[in-house]
Structure 1
Amino acid sequence: MPKPRKISQSQYETLAAFRFALRQFLRFSEQAAQGAGLTPQQHQAMLAIKGFPGRARVTVGELAERLQIAHHSTVGLVDRLTAEKLVTREPSKEDRRQVFVSLTKRGERLLEGLSSVHQEELRRIGPELRELLEEMTGGEGDS
């Protein structure tokens, strides 16, 4: 394992500021989800489904991986989203053990509204995040 590099006080401050800015964004996201009647995890699941590369549906296993939660927890989350008519389940035609999850029209509308306010917030805080990230990765303040 390589020897850790010496971290300067300014690097600690930049790292702390970056983490604080990320946490503020996550708190904004949590509150936006709750304001829309969702839990933050439900919002994350819907975004993971809609944003899955190359297709508009995911397996429960893929969703679990994207959310970094256990398969059985994902099943419960999908159950709750299904009860709210935000997602639908469809068994795979090739492998009956797999179940695909996709957003309903209602889920799409709700996610679009949330994604719009998230984009606005990112436009607002983006310059600060970009500056902090550049300070952390651009070599500024290295010893």
Structure 2
Amino acid sequence: MTQISKSDYESLLAFRTALRRFLHFTEQGARAVGLTPQQHQVLLAVMGQPGRDWASVGEIAEALQIRHHAAVGLIDRCQQAGVVMREHDPTDRRTVRVSLTDQGKDVLQRLSSANLAELKTLTDLLKGF
């Protein structure tokens, strides 16, 4: 077993504290714009898909580490909030594409701008470790 130094413990604590601080910051931001933190994560899961601006329900479930039926309920609530819309994939009718509405894009842009600034601050703090 590798010996862990006091400095290692301090680095782990600093990282864990920064991570919790970031999560708390993003959760507060989502609530401030009328979304739950999970709804904000849905928006990010949609826009974060490589090379496209939509996601399948399965991809959202995977990104959020939740079951498919839980993702469906969460997407339903996002749709009721006016931030996402659903449509069938034109090439595979079994697949439902979830994409952001203009309102969803605006909300995600504002949240992500603030979150990236906070992440930079925390990254700068952690550079000493």
TM-score band, normalised by shorter chain: over 0.9
Q: What RMSD over aligned residues (CA atoms) do the two structures have, in Å?
A: 1.2
* Matched ranges for 1:18-97 at <5 A: 18-97=15-94
CA contact (8 A) 2:84 2:104 kept: yes
Q: Write the letter of the residue equivalent to 2:76.
A: D
Q: Write the letter of the residue equivalent to 1:55.
A: R
- The runs of at least 4 aligned residues of structure 1 exceeding 3 Å deviation read none
Match of 2:125 among 108, 123, 128: 128
| Distance (Å, rounded) in 2 between the aligned partners of 1:130 and 1:74 | 36
| Distance (Å, rounded) in 2 between the aligned partners of 1:47 and 1:15 | 27
Name which one, 1 or 2, has greater alpha-carbon Rg. Answer: 1
Highest RCO, 1 vs 2 (Cα 8 Å, sep ≥ 6): 1
1:115 and 2:117 correspond? no
Q: Secondary structure at the match of 2:86?
A: strand
Match of 1:13 among 2, 6, 10: 10
Alignment correspondent of 1:101: 98
Quick one: percent identity of the two aligned structures? 51
Question: Could you list the runs of 5+ residues in structure 1 that have no partner in the other structure?
Answer: 133-143
Question: Could you list the runs of 5+ residues in structure 2 that have no partner in the other structure?
Answer: none
| Distance (Å, rounded) in 2 between the aligned partners of 1:63 and 1:130 | 32
| Distance (Å, rounded) in 2 between the aligned partners of 1:16 and 1:123 | 18
CA contact (8 A) 2:83 2:104 kept: yes
Q: CA deviation at 1:96?
A: 2.2
Task: Report the TM-score, using the length of structure 2 for normalisation.
Answer: 0.94
Q: May I ask how many residue pairs the two structures share in their alignment?
A: 129
CA contact (8 A) 2:14 2:126 kept: no
